[in-house]
Amino acid sequence: MLETQKKCMEINLSAIKRNYEKVRQEVNVPVMAVVKGNAYGHGMGEVALALQKAGAEWFGVEFVEEGIALRKAGIGGRILCFTSPISREECEEFLEYDITPTIYSIESAELLNKVACQRETNCRVHLKFDTGMGRFGFRLEDLDSALAKLKNYKNFIYEGAYTHFSDAFAKSGDYTLQQLSRFQKIIERLEEEGIRVSLRHAASSVAAMDFPETRLDMVRIGGALFGVAMFKNREVKLEKASRVKARLLEIRHLARGSYIGYGRTYKTPRDMRIGIIPVGYCEGLKVQRRNYTYSILGLVRNIYQEIKDFLNPPPVAFIDGRPLRVLGRIGMQLTVVDLTGIDAKIGDEVIVAIDPIYYKGEEKVYLADEDRGRFGEN
């Protein structure tokens, strides 16, 4: 739908709901819909409301501000925030908006319990334990001292306990199973101290699909909702949830030997017909989710992937399903594509492969299946 726009992202809410249902049927336990980071770029409020209609009762966010936004958008279900309050103001917000905080330090626990006591109310919390991720969570070596204090907070309702797997996507599942074993031992220690939680959860999308033993009482699903299938389980077929459309801004004929783009990195080997689309690296085009590497093995993998992409670049732009070759360097907001031999005119639609997390355009269109066909499977 580009009647008045140069580009837009289309989000298939029906596909997101179907992905949620496919995951739910596969895991057969409650599914928390993780909508942090603006629902991975798809629009947190719209996505959460669609999932609420599909039956989702739990939503996961990273920060309390995201939880507040969900409440203001009309989400009435349970909201778990993956971080703890760090100020009295945040404690008040957790209580006022009925957002469940995560507790992973005694400092935040004492602060929140104090505020809850002053307000003469109780606060449901989930405890997080570090079993090998190395970020948030009570560490195993500090468990005894932490439990000795946690069991004395009278204004807490210990509803849940969880951990997070760091390497569930690895070829070997040994480390994931080690983390699960540590977590199960932690649960046993909680019960010994009289802290009995009703919800144990550990699995995110990949673990939930590939390690059934990690599903416990609930799973936390984020990327899979939007069709990201990094797991090995091929029984679950997910649908793509979004696509970016852009209009051809210009079509030009260039003679053989013409340069294209910054740095003169591309020289036309023959007379060519080129098109310009209003999308570039600032919109996330060709931006990969690759983090900095801190190991020789990680460096080698990144170099291998760079060489592979250089020798056989994956297509990122399409007209009527036909891939278009990118010519020259991608600009900040403009990209040149090869239209030689293609019947296209200015204003025609081009589908552009962009990770929604990086898409910065404000133009989002939410469509149901009846508006047009599905985007395909991942």
Residue 291: its pLDDT value, please? 57
Q: Reply yes or no on whether the pLDDT at 28 is more than 80.
A: yes
Residue 254: its pLDDT value, please? 97
**Class of residue 340 by CB neighbours under 10 A (exposed 0-12, middle 13-18, buried 19+):** middle
Residue 11: its pLDDT value, please? 95
- Please confirm, yes or no, whether 358 is among the known catalytic residues: no
Residue 377: its pLDDT value, please? 66
Bridge partner list, 129? 138
Bridge partner list, 218? 201
HSE on the CB side for 250, CA within 13 Å?
A: 9
Residue 304: its pLDDT value, please? 78
| Tens-digit pLDDT profile for residues 305-344 | 778 777 788 889 999 999 999 999 999 999 999 999 999 9
Pairing of the two strands 242-247 and 349-352: antiparallel
Q: Residue 134 — left, alpha, or beta (φ > 0 → left; ψ -120 to 50 → alpha)?
A: left
| Tens-digit pLDDT profile for residues 183-224 | 999 999 999 999 999 999 999 999 999 999 999 999 999 999
Confidence of residue 119 (pLDDT cuts 50, 70, 90): very high
Confidence of residue 285 (pLDDT cuts 50, 70, 90): confident
Question: Which residues have CB under 8 Å from 55's CB, separation 6+?
Answer: 20, 24
Residue 336: its pLDDT value, please? 97
- Please confirm, yes or no, whether 22 is among the known catalytic residues: no
Q: Which CATH superfamily is domain 249-346 in?
A: Lyase, Ornithine Decarboxylase; Chain A, domain 1 (2.40.37.10)
CATH topology of domain 12-226: TIM Barrel (3.20.20)
Catalytic residue among 36, 114, 185, 364: 36
Question: Residue range 99-106: average pLDDT?
Answer: 98
Task: Give this prediction's pTM.
Answer: 0.90
Catalytic residue among 72, 262, 304, 308: 262
Domain boundaries, the chain: 12-226, 249-346
Residue 199: its pLDDT value, please? 98
Q: Reply yes or no on whether the pLDDT at 373 is more than 90.
A: no
The residue ranges of DSSP E strands in the chain, in sequence order, are 7-12, 31-34, 58-61, 78-81, 102-103, 123-130, 138-139, 156-162, 199-201, 219-221, 242-247, 250-254, 259-260, 266-267, 272-277, 317-319, 322-324, 335-338, 349-352, 364-367
Confidence of residue 238 (pLDDT cuts 50, 70, 90): very high
